[in-house]
Amino acid sequence: MLMLLNTPYALSLSRSLASSSFPSPPTRRLLFLSSTFTLPPPRFPHSSLVSSRVSPSFRTQASAATATMGDAPDVGMDAVQRRLMFEDECILVDESDNVVGHESKYNCHLWEKILTGKMLHRAFSVFLFNTKYELLLQQRSATKVTFPLVWTNTCCSHPLYRESELISENHLGVRNAAQRKLLDELGIPAEDVPVDQFVPLSRMLYKAPSDGKWGEHELDYLLFIVRDVNVHPNPDEVAEAKYVNRDQLKELLRKADAGEDGLKLSPWFRLVVDNFLFKWWDHVEKGTLKEVSDMETIHKL
């Protein structure tokens, strides 16, 4: 970056050069001095849905521009994921789910910081069924920082450290966050998933590494909802989405266990499947989910 500096020394040097002899015809020259400064982080619209509407070339250029920032950590990170990692503030909690502070999503998912025991944060996992009682699954996008390209439940994310998502009454803050992220990740309009239709069934506490650098340490709210919705996946977040019935899910589990087709499941999804999902699926079909809700217990898995 070149900047014209209007300093006495620069002006003096400019006049000196201007009065010097140059090959004919004489030319007048302006003096530019090099100055290096740090650009602010690129600002993107808050909803990651906007990124799914811009051209791939624009996203590539944005990523390249971000990667040139010499003082920025993880310069190879996708621009959208970078924004989420550094702008989103997760809610730090203790093992009893009491709020103890907040921290960037980036720090909350660094494995070395997780090992300090100070990065436990609140999360949620949505299990959305249609009226045929099929479960909507997603494959996380290849650009996700943690657990890219793994298959998981409908939506998994974090309530943020903001007033609307800190409301504890009836777990409204977590429900608000779930509604927000279903729109961000899967393009599901808010009117398709009213916050009062989410049924919180339980909470679980787990820790899982991703790739040696990244991982999870979450106190996870398990939210179930039965709705027919419009799905328009955001490619920055989701590689693929599909509904499965029980038998299809069991086949998916078999392939993951056998290592077929490189298929992998997220650790939190697998914990829910192995400990709760199929017995809760019975109540989904019977319309009796509220009968098995237990928000007093935090399962340490």
- Give the tens place of pLDDT for each residue, 257-275: 999 999 999 999 999 999 9
DSSP classification of residue 160: B
* Per-residue tokens: 298: 């935090």
Helix (H, G, I), strand (E, B) or coil at 284: helix
Question: Cβ of 190: how many Cβ atoms within 10 Å?
Answer: 12
| Strands 199-209 and 298-300, bridge-based pairing | parallel
Domains and CATH numbers, the chain: 79-300 (3.90.79.10)
- Decide if 155 is catalytic: no
pLDDT, greater one: 68 or 91: 91
Mean pLDDT of 189-194: 98
Of the pLDDT bands very low, low, confident and very high (cuts 50, 70, 90), residue 87 is confident
Query: Residue 188 and residue 192: Cα distance in Å, rounded?
Result: 7
* Per-residue tokens: 160: 């943020």
Mean pLDDT of 53-62: 36
User: How confident is the model at residue 73, as a pLDDT?
Assistant: 58
> Catalytic pick from 108, 156, 185, 237?
156
Residue linked to tokens 């030319």: 27
Query: Residue 240's beta-bridge partner residues?
Result: 139
* 155-175 pLDDT tens trace: 999 999 999 999 999 999 999
Helices (H) and strands (E) in the chain, counts: 9, 12
Residue linked to tokens 């499941």: 265
Query: Residue 260 and residue 70: Cα distance in Å, rounded?
Result: 40
Mean model confidence pLDDT for the chain: 81
> Catalytic pick from 185, 216, 218, 237?
218
Query: In sequence order, what are the residues at sequence separation of 6 or more whose Cβ sits closer than 8 angstroms to the Cβ of residue 104?
Result: 85, 86, 88, 89, 90
Of the pLDDT bands very low, low, confident and very high (cuts 50, 70, 90), residue 75 is low
CB 294 within 8 A of CB 202: yes
User: How confident is the model at residue 112, as a pLDDT?
Assistant: 96
| CA 199, chain centre distance (Å) | 23
User: How confident is the model at residue 82, as a pLDDT?
Assistant: 79
DSSP classification of residue 192: G
Preceding peptide of 25 cis, ω within 30°: yes
Mean pLDDT of 127-135: 98
Within 141-198, strands assigned E span: 151-152, 155-157
CB 81 within 8 A of CB 65: no
- Decide if 218 is catalytic: yes
Query: Residue 236 and residue 167: Cα distance in Å, rounded?
Result: 28
User: How confident is the model at residue 61, as a pLDDT?
Assistant: 37
Mean pLDDT of 112-119: 96
